[in-house]
Amino acid sequence: MSLQQPPSLFPDDEEALKARIEELRREIREHDYRYYVLNAPTISDAAYDALFRELVELERRAPHLITPDSPTQRVGGQVQTTFTPAPHAVPMLSLDNVFTEQELRDWDARIKRFLGLEPETVVEYTAELKIDGLSISLTYEHGVMVRAATRGTGTVGEDITPNARTIRSIPLRLRAERNEVLPERLEARGEAYLSHAEFASINAENEVTGAPTFANPRNAA
């Protein structure tokens, strides 16, 4: 009597392996989107972890199939402490601050002059809270993130791509809705920031380990 080996949980055929890896990546990206963007997860943490562990194992078996936009390339990534220059194709400017009502009125007057409006014209503005974080630029080519950079001088920043990969809310690959064709090159600009709760947690951990603490959430980011 011969004993049969139980079927493998992992595909042996190269094409099947590649297909399963791509399927897992799509599933994990979808769940990341639902969790971090929609705040409406549809699976448990345990189920998500199972998908992720399977992807890690398959990529371990086939390292030639690892791609820069794979979800495995962000978790546990190595954070850089020295950076290379990253020129901005379009200057990355900052916003002016105002601290008094008169400064705000002066700004309103400048806007009206620029638009050729009479001083008594009522202009409606849309305003939103400003998050005080670190300005960053994310560059995508055909939907895949290829570079993350700080503002720096406005014309030249610092390349922080490995650091940005560790931020789970930054997509390594963009979603194409309704089979839309993603642009060849796209740049998104915004703020990387820490909540006050995350900031307090990091400083508390650093105090325990003896690592330097941060003065404020912006510096920590």
**18 annotated active-site:** no
CA–CA separation, 25 vs 35, rounded Å?
15
Q: CB atoms < 10 A from the CB of 55, how many?
A: 20
Please, are residues 61 and 18 in contact by the beta-carbon 8 Å criterion? no
DSSP 33: I
Please, are residues 164 and 148 in contact by the beta-carbon 8 Å criterion? yes
* Catalytically annotated residue among 81, 120, 130, 210: 130
Burial of 156 (0-12, 13-18, 19+ CB in 10 A): middle
Q: How far is CA 82 from the centre of its chain?
A: 20
Give the 3-state secondary structure of residue 188: strand
Residues designated as active site: 130
